[in-house]
């Protein structure tokens, strides 16, 4: 009909947005390629028909009215986006949000309306992922803060309980109760550890980890936590590569998936653990935040359990979302796992159907090259002693006293201070050498880190041990090289502190 010349036609056909033109009888006279893609309708099918089939039934009346009003107006161009997002309808019956702009023009004395539509469902999805990430960040910070204070209290409890046991004669009836209290305290410490991981306040050390070894290593333990009526199938592809992960964190992720699967199969079933290499392509990654196309190691845990309704499925990554009875689940498992996996640029995909079971796939970036050394086993054995002078700085009096007592018992001379300024005064007034500083990181006023830097200006050989609920990572962030100091994370065992102190002093002396 000579509506447009060839160049214009080409431009329209290659546009990213759907472009539809209707004539004054509201029949479609132009339907570009993007419109075909967006609505799933071939142009040949759309031409000559009305616009109704592209919008959900409930909006047809109001849309038609708006179009007529617009055509009758003197305005030539308007963004319907100003009216909010409108709903589109695909040929397969699914609805999607779109932004629209509309314009009208005369051709051979007849009014035509051009509608330009943009499918924004993908953008919406990304926005909601971003929102979720921000929410996690806030809850994480909150949880981290609470866990930090909680750790201080737990530590005091542990140490007083240990003291109390020591004073009771062997076989005393109260020993059993104290042991129970310590066991309950350990569960509380475990919860704070989970909170700290969740808030990413524990220092992970991602490296090349053999997924095969992690699965094989956990297998005996998995068999123990899983009831006999659940069959376990492990399928590790022989060529499965190394994944970018922190071994401890990966174990935690796998453990939670397995326990979730177990809980979903109260009447028995089959639990499958699979690992294999898989590439994620551009198409797959487009709708995901922070995931780039490339080689991944996929670790999947599949069960034949109760499955999830779409409502539950939509919330499983929410922190504290759980359908388990109080005491059985905290709802942090998957939220934490997602944090961990995203932390290394990975991705978790979940498919589930009520009654048909669930499959959770964890994708971790594949790294070729050596396997990172496993974390150094905690050195057990004799607790080292010493006779050096140690300055202990901690604002929490019970912890300060307990640390001081442990150090004195181990032979050290102890100086005490409640904050950084106080510590500078105490150190300045001390006539002899101060060999080591044991300090909290977070202190009222001057931080433990500032204090360490300040003291080191006149004492270059000062050994430093930081005590904190936060990890070495945050120390690094604040400008201290973690290789020059030692670090204990609360709640810590006094023996651990003593070992680290000894190591710190010996290392400084060797220099
Ligand atoms: N394999 C599964 N089958 C069915 N539902 C599941 C499965 N995995 C997770 N869910 C659902 O997701 C919820 C959240 O799981 P998540 O691991 O985050 O927390 P939790 O297991 O309830 O508690 P936690 O892991 O902290 O002990 C579960 O309570 C359950 O409703
Ligand atoms: Mg769980």
CB 185 within 8 A of CB 158: yes
Highest mean pLDDT range out of 198-212, 284-298, 375-389, 414-428?
Answer: 414-428
Residue (of 453, 448, 452, 495) closest to 469 by Cα position: 448
Determine if residue 408 is left, alpha or beta; phi over 0 gives left, psi from -120 to 50 gives alpha, anything else beta.
Answer: alpha
| Inter-residue contact 501 to 463 (CB < 8 Å) | yes
Mean pLDDT over each residue of the chain, to the nearest integer:
84
Q: Where in the chain is the domain with CATH 3.30.450.20?
A: 6-119
Domain 208-367 of CATH type 3.30.565.10: yes
Pocket lining: 291 vs ligand 1, CB cutoff 6 Å: no
What is the distance between the alpha carbons of residues 335 and 101, in angstroms, rounded to a whole number? 40
Which CATH architecture describes the domain 6-119?
A: 2-Layer Sandwich (3.30)
Separation CA 491–CA 377 (nearest Å): 19
pTM of structure: 0.51
Angle 299-302-307 from CA coordinates, rounded to 5°: 135
CATH fourth-level superfamily of 389-510: Response regulator (3.40.50.2300)
Q: What is the pLDDT of residues 278-302, one digit of tens each?
A: 999 888 888 777 788 899 999 999 9
Closest CA to 164 of 180, 185, 178: 178
pLDDT at 445 over 60: yes
* Alpha helices in 168-241, H assignment, sequence order: 173-198, 211-225
The residues of the chain that CATH labels 1.10.287.130 are: 124-198
Among the CATH numbers 3.90.470.10, 1.10.287.130, 3.30.70.260, 1.10.1040.10, which is that of 124-198?
1.10.287.130
- Protein residue whose Cα sits closest to atom 6 of ligand 1: 260
Q: Which phi and psi (to 5°) does residue 69 adopt?
A: -60, -40
Question: Are 258 and 301 in contact, with CB atoms under 8 Å apart?
Answer: yes
- The continuous run of DSSP H or E covering 257 comes out as helix 247-263
CA distance 394 to 441: 9
For residue 340, the CA-to-ligand 2 centroid distance in Å is 14
Query: What are the residues facing 392 on neighbouring strands?
Result: 416, 438
pLDDT at 137 over 60: yes
Assess whether the C-beta atom of 302 lies below 6 angstroms from ligand 1: no
Residues with Cβ–ion distance below 5 A, ligand 2? 256, 260, 333
Percent of the chain having pLDDT more than 70?
A: 88
Domain with CATH 3.30.565.10 in the chain: 208-367
pLDDT for res 370: 45
């Amino acid at each position: 009909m000579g509506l447009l010349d060839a160049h214009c036609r080409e431009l329209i056909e290659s546009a990213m947005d759907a472009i539809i033109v209707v004539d004054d009888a509201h029949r479609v006279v132009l339907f570009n390629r993007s419109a075909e893609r967006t609505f799933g309708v071939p142009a040949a099918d759309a031409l000559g028909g009305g616009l109704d089939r592209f919008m959900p039934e409930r909006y047809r009346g109001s849309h038609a009215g708006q179009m007529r009003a617009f055509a009758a107006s003197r305005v030539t161009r308007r963004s319907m986006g100003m009216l909010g997002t409108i709903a589109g309808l695909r040929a397969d019956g699914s609805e999607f949000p779109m932004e629209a702009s509309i314009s009208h023009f005369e051709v051979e004395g007849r009014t035509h309306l051009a509608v330009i539509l943009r499918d924004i469902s993908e953008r919406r999805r990304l926005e909601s992922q971003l929102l979720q990430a921000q929410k996690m960040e806030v809850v994480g910070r909150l949880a981290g803060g609470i866990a930090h204070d909680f750790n201080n209290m737990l530590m005091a409890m542990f140490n007083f309980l240990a003291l109390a046991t020591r004073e009771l004669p062997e076989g005393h009836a109260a020993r059993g109760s104290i042991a129970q209290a310590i066991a309950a305290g350990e569960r509380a410490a475990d919860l704070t550890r989970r909170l700290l991981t969740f808030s990413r306040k524990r220092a992970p050390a991602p490296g090349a980890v053999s997924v095969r070894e992690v699965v094989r290593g956990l297998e005996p333990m998995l068999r123990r936590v899983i009831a006999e009526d659940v069959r376990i199938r492990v399928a590790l592809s022989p060529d499965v590569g190394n994944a970018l992960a922190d071994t401890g964190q990966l174990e935690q992720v796998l453990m939670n998936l397995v326990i979730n699967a177990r809980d979903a199969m109260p009447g028995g079933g089959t639990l499958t653990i699979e690992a294999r290499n898989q590439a994620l392509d551009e198409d797959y990654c487009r709708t995901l935040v922070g995931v780039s196309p490339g080689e991944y190691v996929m670790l999947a845990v599949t069960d034949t359990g109760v499955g999830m309704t779409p409502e539950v499925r939509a919330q499983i990554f929410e922190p504290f979302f759980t359908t388990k009875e109080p005491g059985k689940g905290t709802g942090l498992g998957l939220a934490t796992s997602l944090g961990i996996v995203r932390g290394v640029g990975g991705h978790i995909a979940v498919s589930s159907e009520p009654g048909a079971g669930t499959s959770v796939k964890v994708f971790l970036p594949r790294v070729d090259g050596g396997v990172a050394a496993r974390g150094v086993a905690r050195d057990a054995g004799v607790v080292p002693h010493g006779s050096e002078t140690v300055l202990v700085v901690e604002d929490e009096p019970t912890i300060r006293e307990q640390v001081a007592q442990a150090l004195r018992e181990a032979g050290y001379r102890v100086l005490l201070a409640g904050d950084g300024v106080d510590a500078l005064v105490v150190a300045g007034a001390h006539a002899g050498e101060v060999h080591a500083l044991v300090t909290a990181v977070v202190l009222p006023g001057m931080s433990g880190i500032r204090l360490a830097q300040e003291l080191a200006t006149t004492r270059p050989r000062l050994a430093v041990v930081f005590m904190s609920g936060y990890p070495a990572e945050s120390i690094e962030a604040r400008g201290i090289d973690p290789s020059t100091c030692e670090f204990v994370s609360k709640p810590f065992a006094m023996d651990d502190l003593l070992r680290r102190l000894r190591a710190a002093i010996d290392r400084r002396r060797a220099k």
